[in-house]
Chain A
Amino acid sequence: MTAAIEVRGVTKEFVEGPNRVPVLHGVDCEVHRGEVVLLMGPSGSGKTTLLSIMGCILRATSGSVKIAGREVANLRENELPEVRLKNIGFIFQGFNLFPTLTVGENVELALDLKGIRGAKAREASQRLLEQVGLSAKRDAFPSDLSGGQKQRVAVARALSGSPGVILADEPTAALDSHSGRNVMEMMRDLAHKHGRGVVVVTHDSRVLEFGDRIVHMEDGRIAEQAQDEAA
């Protein structure tokens, strides 16, 4: 079965002035549809960088990155947005909703990017908001919502266009435990009931029970591999 995301031997270096700072050292990782992968590790371990590479937001310095079986590591910068648009939904720690748009319009904007417009977009956004239990808030603005509700809108937005993979960066960090739990239950449902591959970067130990697999990172390596290498 083709992995939703497959990274092999991925390295990443950032250029800071005259120096090249290595952040990832030959990372191998797979994410399959139907599973929730928790990416954990201390700050600076490279989990967000790995998430960005998986999401085609950053390009790996070397290595292979496959999205739904398609090699994307060699794509040009201007080809990556389309890969993101078709395959990946993002959920951010700070929600990143558009404050001047209503809840419905936030979802419709994501649909618009995917070419779904007009009545179809309204129907689709309504369905997505029902899925996250916020159809009653369709005309509300993000500033009228609680943190948990905002993140649910972000989930609905990420689901627009039915991407195969959902990448979430600290989705519970800004939420109370109840809201965080709701959001993680939603993530688990996305994987188990809707067959999406879900990757969650988190520091939050409360969400451990929702992961099918936990990948620990340390110093730019998958920790277990790093331990193996050390051994």
Chain B
Amino acid sequence: MPPLAQRNLMHDKVRLAVTLTGIVFAVVLIVVEMGLFLGFTVTTSSIIDKSGVDLWIVSKHTPYIEQGAAFSERKLYQVLATPGVAAADKYIVRFAEWKTPDGSEQSVQIVGFDPYSKIGGPWNVVQGNVEDLKTPDAVMIDELYAKKLGVTQVGEIFEIYGRRARVVGFTKGIRAFTTTPYVFTSFKNGQDYARLREDQTLFILVKAAAGSDLKALQGELQARLRDVDVLTTKQFSNMTRFYWMFTTGAGVAVLIAAVLGLVVGVVVVAQTIYATTMDHIREYGTLKAMGAPNSYIYKVIITQAAIAAVVGYGLAMLVSIFVVRGSQSGGAAILLPLPMVVALFFLTLLMCATAAVVSIKKVTSLDPAMVFRG
């Protein structure tokens, strides 16, 4: 087929620019909203997902990680005595108050873990060492929140609930969904900072022995332990994600914005593709008069839409990469994983095809006799 679709599209460069701008805006908007949604989702459960353990023992009916309630740490010995358990450690995640030298206070989340086993410890350590957390009062924070917490370098001293906290290192990219910075420290320090009694813990993290049946171990632990829930890491991660994304409505709002982006995109693209079709309506009438079946004309319009989709998508991805990179140093990460890149390509095609339907309906009802009217 002669390149009618391509030429029609390129003929009016201003209209082409408007069409592409519409697609780029729609796709970038969807990338930002969906990427934020994914970023938020991953962030809400990053502490759980990166723990490297198989099971989490939490107080009964704990809905998400920030809501852990204290229970006796003696349960740890029952856990360790259970066949199939390779390792287990106490763990704390709880809100506390960080006091800067100028006297201002900032909410933080204490993450108390065993620096000897390193189970549930920090990752992406860029300055200092996890072993440094074995020393009393030692804490580690993320670079992202250093300014917020008034930290400029390793060795500086702060207070958490009136107790001394000495920064011994930094991590990179460990965000908190609540924007309340994580403060990694030893379990013992964590008990003090989180104002837990010496015999209490908030969680017990369990590593299953190699080759053991995780489901069976989960059931066994649940049977042995009272007043706690035994959850797989996946289950607890999903519960935490669901709470923050859907129960609070935060995720729903972001998803709605993504859908709105899609709708705006379809409307803008439909309007411009329709206008392009109307510009060439006499030509389509001529084609029909010459004997072209409707499918031939649909092909022209669909090809126009597809070209616009592919070019618009390419431009949108370029813009998106800049946006995503820019977000890495900000408070909210926008994620753009490969499956989303692929899915967005097909979504863009679908968006443009949907937009083309409006034009196709117009052409279907076109009377070829129009070619004989003035």
Contact = CB atoms under 8 A, between A and B. Distances in A.
A216 B286 CA distance: 27
A101 B7 contact: yes
Interface stretch (A84-92, A126-134, A191-199): A84-92
Contacts of B296: 113
Interface residues of B, number: 24
A18 B150 CA distance: 82
A93 B373 CA distance: 9
B307 to A, nearest CB: 13
B52 interface: no
A52 B369 contact: yes
Contact of A81 (B1, B11, B282, B291): B291
Interface stretch (A29-37, A102-110, A203-211, A222-230): A102-110
A58 B1 contact: no
Contacts of B11: 99-100
Interface string A17-47: 0000000000000000000000000000000
A34 B133 CA distance: 102
B286 A58 contact: no
Contact of A51 (B7, B8, B372): B372
A169 B372 contact: yes
Nearest to A113: B292
Contact of B369 (A57, A85, A88, A109): A57
A81 B372 contact: no
Contacts of A52: 369, 372
Interface size class of A (residues with CB under 8 A): 20 to 34
Contact of B1 (A48, A55, A90, A109): A109
Contacts of A106: 2
B296 to A, nearest CB: 7
Contacts of B290: 84-85, 90, 110, 113
Contacts of A82: 291, 293
Given A98-B283, A109-B2, A112-B2, A48 B293 contact: no
B371 interface: yes
A96 interface: yes
B3 A105 contact: yes
B340 interface: no
A91 B291 CA distance: 13
Interface string A66-87: 0000000000001001111110
Contacts of A81: 288, 291-293
Contacts of A86: 291
18 contacts: A48-B372, A57-B368, A82-B291, A83-B291, A84-B290, A84-B291, A90-B289, A90-B290, A92-B286, A93-B372, A96-B371, A99-B283, A100-B4, A100-B11, A108-B2, A109-B4, A109-B287, A112-B1
Interface of A: 48, 51-52, 55, 57-58, 78, 81-86, 88, 90, 92-94, 96, 98-101, 105-106, 108-110, 112-113, 117, 169
Given A93-B372, A113-B287, 12 more contacts: A52-B372, A84-B290, A85-B291, A92-B371, A96-B282, A96-B371, A98-B4, A99-B11, A100-B7, A108-B2, A110-B290, A112-B2
4 nearest CB pairs, A to B: A85-B291, A100-B7, A84-B291, A105-B2
